[in-house]
Structure 1
Amino acid sequence: MAADYRSCRASCYAVLLTCLQLAQAFYIPGWSIKSYSEGEAIPLFVNKVYSDNTQLQYAYSELPFVCPPSGRPRPGTGLISGSNIALNLGEVLRGDRIMVSDYELEMGKDEEIRYLCSQTVDKVGLKRAVDVVKNGYIAEWIVDNLPGATSFVTVDKSRKYYASGFKMGYEEPSFDNGQPRHFLNNHVTLVIRYHKAPGRAGQHGKKVIVGFEVYPKSIEAENRDASGLPADIRNIGHGLELTVARNTTNSTLTRDSSSYMVEVVDESTEDATITIPYTYSVYFREDDKIEWGSRWDLYFVNQEESSKIHWFAIINSVIISGLLTAVVAVIFTRTIRGDLKNYKDGGAEELRLGRRGKGLTSPRRSAEKGGLLDQVDGDGALGADDAASDDELPPEDITGWKLVHGDVFRTPPYGHLLAPLVGSGMQLVFMAVGLLLLSCIGVLNPSFRGGFVSVGVTLFIIAGAFSGYFSARVYRTFGGSNWQHNAVVTAILFPGLLFATIFILNLFVWAQASSTAIPLGTLFALGTLWLFIQLPLVYVGSWYGYVKKGVYNHPIKATAIPRQIPQQAWYSRSVQAALIAGLIPFAVIFTELLFVFQSLWSDKSGYYYVFGFLAVVSTILILAVMETTIIAVYIQLCSENYHWWWQSFFLGGSSSLWIFAYCVYYYFNILHITGFVSTMLFFAYSFLACLVYGLLTGTIGFLTAYAFVRRIYGAIKVD
């Protein structure tokens, strides 16, 4: 047994050290390696197009100006062109729409140029193509579970790195009038990097893919042979401009003074069309420097280059947290202990004068049985005979926070609403901790496409039991009697708000025919998961918390008449205190937020994968929220304000207000989002993210303040 214990402890230490070392974007590969024989068919999947300038994504295969799928079987792959690939929940929610393409790739076989199709586009399709190019849309293709990437080099030109996706086109000003001209990339050069497969597969001549690069090019529609191929792929004079030339003639050919041969049509003609030919090239290049298990590293080089900034963020967070810890230590070791000592000395003096002999009870007996956790979850309580009243306390020794001892545990107003919020917050805490742990150990990695969202939804649903448990216990502590109603409110409050908001947003996204829209079937599936899994789990957790565990017992009972609260200083008032307290946790995570925002909003083609840094900063953030809440609640109690229940929740979650304010700043100063729907999506998603963060940190602040208050008031006793 001792050996097993030591082995388990060593394993835990190893996991902890691994999490700290994951700051260098550690990656654990998938379970199986796909190897290809010489000449074996390699399927290419098209996914979606997205832009940093808008929140609307579109399925690549549904664009009206690209080659439609032919429906031909793909020999050697068991796939049919145009067939959809089954997606998990996370892929659907992130807007993926993966389809088998007509691009033909065979391992080791180079194709200098190959014709794909010619797509005739009407004026509506042409306008759509111009919008895609103008908004800087990027296409995502997939080969062997690797997204097609554009290759770059670092600033010092010492390392190569990838940016996922490739541009659909480009914009440049006209030489004549300076007006923007839009060119569509209708040719792609695909570079597949490979090396010898490991193990027996490599001994049989098989290869594994370690890189997938896409280099787009715009080639004019003219000067092509009968098969649709340009005369010289290496010498292209003009690109394919997306325009309908102004001319009174109809369906004639002319050469623009600064461009290429285009089809001239009357712009007012309804059936005006333009034909776009598509071609591609394929090259296979052996690369022995990249191992299959580290093939994703090139996507993270840019993040690794910023590791110094991450370490600066951690050092900044540690300094702030250290200062808060020092303040909390002073509160506990000097201020509170000094007050308690003076109180005990005064009580002892009263006893020596004979007050005990007159039949008076001792001023205070402690209900403390153990440590900080016992103060929250313990069952030690004073009975009615043990609790002292105000007139039994030595008046000359009662000052500051001790003055409100008879009101500090008074049931707060709207406690029936605070309990479900605390339950929902604990549900989010469980989900967030689970996601961070799984990301740190590599279970959630880029090869698990959509895994972060899928696992997050799963953890959220499972955590319904924790939500019900904590909500029910807090609800009963506040004197609630209808726990079934509280369970239903807990199960509906946050998920209902989230679902209703997403459904309303979906109506706008559906109208734009965007792949970001969640299908009705997926919405129905999410509703089914909530109704048949989460709701029962919340109910079971509520029953166990309310019936089996019962109330959180308090060391002091509330008096019958509430004490009048004196005028508060400006910094102790609810709004000001929350804003000041929220600024400190925001300062802890501000630097890391820059990278999170860049990954979510500014650079959707990238992957945020420095979860080691995020885990460390999140841990410091939790400590900062706890310590800030303790300090603010202590100041509030010293001001004789005993309404700390709701205030502690707001203090813990108040940094979400600063984060939302930073979202507004980021939108107006960093992003280039255009359009009403995209703007609405940005602020709606930002609001939901800040709401999740606020519930999570608010719950941490509430439970911390609860433990703190029970601790200090339970310590009032006479030896």
Structure 2
Amino acid sequence: MKVSYIISILILAVYIFGSNASKNHHYLDGQAIPFYVNNIGPYSNPTETYEFYTLPFCKPKDISYKKTKLGEILQGDAAVLSDYQFPFKKEFKDKLLCEYTLKKDDIQKFKEAIGEYYYAEMIYDDLPIFSFIGTVDETDPKNPKYYLYHHLPFEFDYNKDQIIKINIDTEHIKVIELSDQEEITLQLTYSATWHETDFQFSKRMELYEEFFPKELEIHWLSVMNSFFLVVLLTGFLAIMIMRILKNDYSRYSKTDEEEDSDYQEDYGWKLVHGDVFRFPPHKNIFSAFYGIGWQFICIVSGILALALFGIFYPNNGGNMYTAGIVLYALTSCISGYQSAKIYKNMGGTKWAWNIVLTATLFVTPLIMVVLLSNTVAVTWHSTVALPIVTIIEVLTIWLLVGFPLTVIGGIAGRRFSGNFDAPCRTKNFPREIPPIPWYRRLPCQILMAGFLPFSAIYIELFYIFNSVWGHSSYTLYGILCLVFIILIIVTACITVALTYFQLSMEDHRWWWVSFINGGSTVVFIYLYSIYYYVYISHMYGLLQATFYFTYMLIVCFFFFILLGTVGFYSSLIFVKRIYKNLKSD
């Protein structure tokens, strides 16, 4: 039933998102095609974007906004129909867009924007075009010269009646110096040249990929190197644990059969068999985390599956945002089911509180982050500020779809869950825990548990960060799937090993510890995000910093829950297995 439900979700999502990706654009010679100007902003701050006409460009007489989808709104798009006109396959030179006068304040705005390397995004036939608005000559740092681009030569590639690629010929851009005059008369012109190509329309977005063959080969080699290293380390760890367990079973068996009074007293994980299945404190919160973790595993798996189907293509991250919202709403029943199931197994009775926690434990901090970032964006008049209508729309999806499905899943989990089926009977009173060395306590476990999974994914993190927080396009979803599988396997292995060592120290409090150890990789991910912001990126300013660090915090919270669930569930299987094979008193 679960498998068929997930397959149905994926088919529905492919239908929703695939219909737009597969449509073909056919045009007649001379047919008019709308040309939109979208956002402008400093190149170093991808999140800091503003409407195109916040700079003193000449505006159309009637402002007409492009019909924008939900995902594009979440991405911060604000496309406006421009006076640029490019009839299909019609060439021309030095066509006048407009002529107008720049006042002193307008000249200063352009200078400040050029000094911060502002770039503009334009859209033609759903293809993005990027261009800086000008350049600066800093030969004399005390007296830099600013040049505004006033002529843009556009180049188009077409295959029969379809547009394949758009580019700006940077060698033939014309500039005008912005001096300290009171006003400047400015003429904005543009030109168009068309070139025929045999490149297929269905693959045209591949031309926007920024991986060259050599870089792609290095990327694959780096990932495969990490893959084989992780396989060797996890294999070594698994063999070591199996050999230790074999010796433990042999020793425990000998202890049971030996009746010699001189035999050494027993020790190790066998002694806590009466407490190892004692349920953890804060069962309601633990159950909610566990249920949400299963939901997040399904969401990530669904997005990766859609990516392999080719639903997401470069420079159109809006589809991925929409897919995430839809999948989150539709998979809410999974979190409700899994949370209620384990909550019943642990003897919980506060069912309403369990469902509310499951539905809001992640949504609440996410809303707080969105409101904080949105407030800053509104203050800066940035296009990344979400309209109140969009916020209400997303909340309505959650209230009318996500929350009811969580309730339905919770009812199903409560009714159809079986018994916990613990192989050992829990004693009435907990066993006293002996003193534990500092290097085996939770803080040190977090460092050990998080480092190995992070070392398996840190190479891929660089490319992901460049895509999300930079201007690169990420399209190697096959590699991303492989890295995600590696991350799950390594997290499970290292958490199981640390759980065994904890039980060997006669510490039976492994439930929360295994969850925290599983999710501890996010500590290193967030530290890497700080390193990336300071030393790799060139981002700056309060707006960009607010978006970067708050959204990275919520992303790390997302993966903490996901990986924590993986760590706990793998430890649960391991603990049940070893105590099932143990002859206990």
- Does TM-score exceed 0.5, indicating one fold? yes
Aligned to 2:155: 191
Aligned AA for 1:331? I
TM-aligned CA distance change 1:235 to 1:281, over 3 Å: closer
Aligned to 2:69: 88
Aligned to 2:202: 293
Question: Structure 1 residue 101 and structure 2 residue 82: aligned?
Answer: yes
Distance 1:580 1:128 in 2: 52
Aligned to 1:241: 177
TM-superposed CA distance for 1:395, in Å, is: 9.8
TM-superposed CA distance for 1:447, in Å, is: 7.9
Q: Of 58, 81, 98, which aligns to 1:67?
A: 58
Aligned to 1:526: 394
Question: Structure 1 residue 169 and structure 2 residue 169: aligned?
Answer: no
TM-aligned CA distance change 1:418 to 1:278, over 3 Å: same
1:28/1:443 contact within 8 Å kept: no
Question: Structure 1 residue 310 and structure 2 residue 219: aligned?
Answer: yes
TM-aligned CA distance change 1:423 to 1:179, over 3 Å: farther
Aligned to 2:167: 213
1:29/1:447 contact within 8 Å kept: no
TM-superposed CA distance for 1:493, in Å, is: 1.1
Deviation per CA, 1:133-152, whole angstroms, max 9, x where unpaired?
A: 2222221112222112xxxx
Aligned AA for 2:215? S
Greater alpha carbon shift after TM alignment, 323-332 vs 662-671: 323-332
SS of 2:211 mapped into structure 1: helix
Greater alpha carbon shift after TM alignment, 28-37 vs 686-695: 28-37
More helix by share: 2
Aligned AA for 1:182? Y
Distance 2:185 2:287 in 1: 63
1:48/1:57 contact within 8 Å kept: no
2:255/2:266 contact within 8 Å kept: no
Question: Structure 1 residue 691 and structure 2 residue 557: aligned?
Answer: yes
Distance 1:411 1:38 in 2: 72
Greater alpha carbon shift after TM alignment, 441-450 vs 538-547: 441-450
Distance 1:552 1:172 in 2: 71
Distance 2:395 2:167 in 1: 40
Question: Structure 1 residue 58 and structure 2 residue 23: aligned?
Answer: no
Distance 2:362 2:477 in 1: 26
Aligned to 2:573: 707
TM-superposed CA distance for 1:650, in Å, is: 1.1
2:30/2:89 contact within 8 Å kept: yes
Deviation per CA, 1:696-719, whole angstroms, max 9, x where unpaired?
A: 111111111111111111221389
Distance 2:459 2:166 in 1: 32
1:65/1:125 contact within 8 Å kept: yes
- The residue correspondences of 1:258-657 to structure 2 (distance < 5 A) are 264-265=181-182, 273-288=183-198, 290-302=199-211, 304-311=213-220, 312-332=222-242, 334-348=243-257, 398-446=266-314, 450-601=318-469, 603-604=470-471, 606-657=472-523
Distance 2:511 2:104 in 1: 62
Aligned to 1:117: 98
TM-superposed CA distance for 1:553, in Å, is: 2.8
SS of 1:465 mapped into structure 2: helix
Aligned to 1:44: 35
2:369/2:551 contact within 8 Å kept: no
1:325/1:627 contact within 8 Å kept: no
- The count of residues paired between Structure 1 and Structure 2 equals 567
TM-superposed CA distance for 1:656, in Å, is: 0.7
TM-aligned CA distance change 1:410 to 1:499, over 3 Å: same
2:337/2:409 contact within 8 Å kept: yes
TM-superposed CA distance for 1:552, in Å, is: 2.5
1:423/1:466 contact within 8 Å kept: yes
SS of 1:105 mapped into structure 2: coil
Distance 2:44 2:325 in 1: 28
Distance 2:319 2:389 in 1: 19
Deviation per CA, 1:34-60, whole angstroms, max 9, x where unpaired?
A: 122221112212221243422544344
Question: Structure 1 residue 179 and structure 2 residue 115: aligned?
Answer: no
TM-superposed CA distance for 1:644, in Å, is: 0.8
SS of 1:306 mapped into structure 2: helix
Aligned AA for 2:136? E
Greater alpha carbon shift after TM alignment, 291-300 vs 57-66: 57-66
Deviation per CA, 1:7-51, whole angstroms, max 9, x where unpaired?
A: xxxxx9xxxxxxxxxxxxxx9994232122221112212221243
The two structures have a TM-score, normalised by structure 2, of 0.91
1:422/1:470 contact within 8 Å kept: yes
Aligned AA for 1:181? K
TM-aligned CA distance change 1:702 to 1:179, over 3 Å: farther
Distance 1:583 1:449 in 2: 30
2:156/2:194 contact within 8 Å kept: yes
TM-aligned CA distance change 1:639 to 1:186, over 3 Å: same
Deviation per CA, 1:51-86, whole angstroms, max 9, x where unpaired?
A: 342254434443231221233xxxxxxxxxx32222
Identity %: 31
Deviation per CA, 1:637-666, whole angstroms, max 9, x where unpaired?
A: 111111111111111111111111111111
TM-aligned CA distance change 1:186 to 1:555, over 3 Å: same
1:328/1:630 contact within 8 Å kept: no
2:291/2:337 contact within 8 Å kept: yes
Q: Of 126, 135, 140, which aligns to 2:121?
A: 140
Distance 2:173 2:342 in 1: 74
TM-superposed CA distance for 1:215, in Å, is: 3.3
TM-superposed CA distance for 1:423, in Å, is: 1.6
TM-aligned CA distance change 1:481 to 1:55, over 3 Å: same
2:299/2:331 contact within 8 Å kept: yes
Greater alpha carbon shift after TM alignment, 708-717 vs 458-467: 708-717
SS of 1:650 mapped into structure 2: helix
The two structures have a TM-score, normalised by structure 1, of 0.75
TM-aligned CA distance change 1:35 to 1:447, over 3 Å: farther
Distance 2:263 2:411 in 1: 44
